[in-house]
A and B are shown apart, each in its own frame.
Chain A
Amino acid sequence: MDLLMPELGLFSISLLIFIIVFLILKKFAWKPILATLKEREDSITDSIATAERVKEEMAQMKAEHEHVLAEAKAERSKILKEAKELKDQIISEAKAQAQAEAKKIVQDASVAIENQKLAALTEVKNQVGNLVIEVAEKVLRKELSDKKAQEAYIGQLASEIKMN
């Protein structure tokens, strides 16, 4: 079976061909190809790492933003609350003051009214007294001119006093 007998010529030349092909491909094909592939893989790894880092940074920034926002919101609501409190206080104070003022005014007014009333009453009393005196004077003047009637009247008055 010469199929199973390696021929020296074919063997040695195929050895040579393979070695030459290997050396050529190693230097001019595999080296640049593998280097470029490695470079690409490295750049992809780098890009992913960078993207990952940027993502993390973004998340951090976002968290910071949210924190600041939350703080601002809290601040705002605090300010609003304070303002409201202040407003309420001012209103209630104003109300109290106004009430007090009003009360005072009313008091003053009633005192004044009382005074006026008393003054008016005194005046009316005085006036009435004067009028009575005047009327009584006139009546007396007239009555005193008539003796009989005077006496009758005195008599009547006396009887009335007796009755009392």
Chain B
Amino acid sequence: MAVSGAFATANEGHDPHAEGGHEEKKGFNAKEVILGHVKDAHDWHLLSVGDFHLTMPLPVIIYNPARGTSMFSSSKFEHGHKSYEGYRIVDAHYLEANHLSPKLYTEGKIIAVDANDQPTGEKIYDLSMTKNITSMILAALLLVILMLNVAKAYKLRGSRQAPKGFQSLIEPVIIFMRDEVVKPNIPGGKADRYVPFILTIFFFILINNLLGLLPGSANVTGNIAVTFALALISFVAMMAATNRHFWGHIFNPPVPGFVKPILAPVELIGVFTKPISLMVRLFANILAGHIIILSIISLVFIFGTLNRGIGYGFLPVTIAFNIVMMLLELLVAFIQAFIFANLTAVFIGQAMEHTGHHDEHH
């Protein structure tokens, strides 16, 4: 969420055309600004002051079954103003200029275009290093470096010495996840096998949540593709843990014969609702937090378009609200990471259960 970006955007509307020197004074479009910040992008927009945009270009990687793979910097698109190697980013101006329906061509997506800058309708696979992916790689690197350091501290101090520094911050979390999340949910001797997995899920989501709160950073865990990937991993782990008893319970539920055909599909749907609930919960919580913070900031500019004085006058209120929201989001970052990890452990535990009863934790 780029707080700094929002300030500048208000002064110049949204993405004015640099060429031709035409500067139309548009009203502040909060929806555009907010969605622009919470969505993934092909470049990392850090801040804008007037007409100066500080943007980090990111590599674009496109696989086109017809043309092969293309790889170039996103700066070649010049923020959606130009096409390059037969590809371009769809933006509002392009749609408007070519009378294309925004329903068919989503803004921010890369499409294949012909020599006349018209969409060819080719099927392409966009595997670019987008803003979210870059942010996620940074988070992953940070996490790996931090945890390897912690592991080094353990190797250095051994089991006889008390933990120190960052090690003693992480240790209670690891122990908590192991003893309060994994062990109570996953039965017996199998618990130890799942501890690394649950720990990785927790810390991976947590670090992405936390980095997402920094001004100017990407909204990684508030993107449904990311939470879909995480939920899929959790689903695969859950499926790998299932036993005969679990499937027996789904296809042959312990109910009178005539209810079985009704209940079996319901039970089968239940298998899939678990990862879907994980996906939607994380996505919605993080996205909602970002949208609220951006909306509160946008209020300043909405008032500012009415009257400059009101805009500045509203600034303290915005700051106060945003401090509260930020603290709340900090809490949500931890809670959502914990819930995702905890529910994954619960679902894996349910899949392994041998006893007849099933509790639904939703």
Contacts and interface: CB of A to CB of B under 8 A. Distances in A.
Nearest to B140: A21
Interface in A1-37: 2-15, 17-22, 24-26, 28-34, 36-37
B71 interface: no
Nearest to A27: B196
Contact of A31 (B35, B178, B196, B230): B196
A21 B200 contact: yes
A24 B142 CA distance: 13
Contact of A14 (B178, B203, B229): B229
In the A-B complex, the 9 residue pairs with the closest CB atoms: A6-B225, A40-B159, A29-B147, A30-B196, A39-B159, A10-B225, A11-B225, A36-B154, A15-B229
B38 A30 contact: no
Contact of B178 (A8, A32, A34): A34
Contacts of B148: 28-29
Contact of A2 (B106, B130, B174): B106
B228 A11 contact: yes
Interface of A: 2-15, 17-22, 24-26, 28-34, 36-37, 39-40, 43
Number of chain B interface residues as a range:
35 or more
Contacts of B130: 9-10
Contact of A10 (B132, B171, B199): B132
B210 interface: no
A13 B127 contact: yes
B223 interface: yes
Nearest to A32: B151
Contacts of B260: none
Contacts of B35: 3
B125 interface: yes
A137 B126 CA distance: 187
Contacts of B127: 8-9, 12-13
Given A34-B196, A39-B159, 11 more contacts: A2-B39, A14-B132, A14-B225, A14-B229, A15-B229, A17-B140, A18-B204, A25-B147, A29-B151, A30-B147, A36-B159
B133 A14 contact: yes
A5 B224 contact: yes
Interface string B151-178: 1001100111000000000010011001
Contacts of B159: 36-37, 39-40, 43
Contacts of B334: none
A36 B167 CA distance: 12
7 contacts: A10-B40, A12-B229, A13-B133, A29-B148, A29-B151, A37-B178, A40-B159
